[in-house]
Amino acid sequence: MPNQVQKLLSDLKVASNSQKAKLLGGFFKSGKGQYGEGDIFLGIYVPIQRAIAKKYEGLEFNDLESLLKSKIHEHRLVALFILVSKFKKGDNKIKEKIFKFYLKNIKGVNNWDLVDQSAPNIIGQWIQDKPKDILYKLARSNNLWEKRIAILSTLAFIREKKFEDTIKISEILMNDKHDLIHKSVGWMLREVGKKEEAVLIKFLNKHTTKMPRTMLRYSIEKFNQETRKYYLCLK
Measure the CA–CA gap between 118 and 15, rounded to whole angstroms.
23
Burial of residue 141 (number of CB atoms within 10 Å: 0-12, 13-18, 19+) = middle
3-state secondary structure 4-22: HHHHHHHHHHHHCCHHHHH
Does residue 107 sit within a domain?
A: no
Domain match, 92 and 168 both: no
| pTM for this prediction | 0.96
Measure the CA–CA gap between 10 and 4, rounded to whole angstroms.
10
Domain match, 123 and 235 both: yes
Q: Domain of 10: which CATH number?
A: 1.25.10.90
Measure the CA–CA gap between 138 and 85, rounded to whole angstroms.
24
Measure the CA–CA gap between 117 and 228, rounded to whole angstroms.
29
Domain match, 93 and 152 both: no
Does residue 55 sit within a domain?
A: yes
Q: What pLDDT score was predicted for residue 177?
A: 95
pLDDT tens digits, the chain, 235 residues: what are they?
A: 359 999 999 999 999 999 999 999 999 999 999 999 999 999 999 999 999 999 999 999 999 999 999 999 999 999 999 999 999 999 999 999 999 999 999 999 999 999 999 999 999 999 999 999 999 999 999 999 999 999 999 999 999 999 999 999 999 999 999 999 999 999 999 999 999 999 999 999 999 999 999 999 999 999 999 999 999 998 7
Among 102, 137, 155, identify where a domain stops: 102
Dihedral sign (CA 179, 185, 188, 190):
negative
Domain match, 132 and 72 both: no
Measure the CA–CA gap between 118 and 154, rounded to whole angstroms.
12
Measure the CA–CA gap between 122 and 98, rounded to whole angstroms.
8
Domain match, 66 and 18 both: yes
Burial of residue 10 (number of CB atoms within 10 Å: 0-12, 13-18, 19+) = exposed
Does residue 110 sit within a domain?
A: no
Does residue 109 sit within a domain?
A: no
Measure the CA–CA gap between 15 and 107, rounded to whole angstroms.
26
Count up the domains in the chain and report the number: 2
Measure the CA–CA gap between 131 and 202, rounded to whole angstroms.
25
Contact 152, 146 (CB under 8 A): no
Among 41, 67, 102, identify where a domain stops: 102
Domain match, 208 and 234 both: yes
Among 102, 136, 157, identify where a domain stops: 102
DSSP states of 209-228 as a string? TTS-HHHHHHHTTTS-HHHH
What is the domain extent for residue 146? 119-235
Domain match, 75 and 175 both: no
Domain match, 126 and 42 both: no
Does residue 158 sit within a domain?
A: yes
